[in-house]
Amino acid sequence: TSIAWDDDLQWVVVDTPPTSGDEVQSLLQHLQNIYGAVIICQPNDLSILGIAKTLNMLRETETPIAGIVANMAGYKCPHCGQISNPFDRPTEDVRVLAKDFGVRFLGSVPFALPDERKQALQGILDGILKHKPITLDKEKGGVTRWLLEKVLR
């Protein structure tokens, strides 16, 4: 399908599966003058393997890589305060992946516990209904602001 991009398009955010290179390859063929890619990676075997393939593809096309973020990188137990990892690999493995590819590790975003997740999902739904993305909301768009500040440094 054809997409009519605005002439002043500055940002495109694409959420692709970590194991599929077809979407990324198609984007790289159709988008010109990419400022940089921010890679989001969960600390698990499947994501790390898939992201490594994506990083190689970005290198082959000489697409700048702004950095890597570890997503769902652990959660704090509300009872004992201990940080636990919900996946099969520690968050540190995402940092190692970044280092192995010579890419900046931008930081990590914690895994949200069910109550926190419910609040976040309600915020996303409210944003959709108001036609205002949550990422632009001053109170709820903190992760987006944090990420943009890291990338634009």
Residues 82 and 15 in one domain: yes
Domain of 78: which CATH number? Answer: 3.40.50.300
Domain count for the chain: 2
Residues 131 and 100 in one domain: no
Residues 134 and 145 in one domain: yes
C-alpha separations of 64 from 58, 60, 105, 128 in Å: 7, 10, 14, 31
Domain that holds residue 141: 113-153
End residue of a domain, out of 93, 111, 129: 111
Segment 83-87 shows an average pLDDT of 79
End residue of a domain, out of 111, 126, 145: 111
The answer to whether 53 and 17 are in contact (CB under 8 A) is no
pLDDT tens digits for range 87-145:
777 788 999 999 999 999 988 887 775 666 666 666 666 766 776 665 656 665 666 66
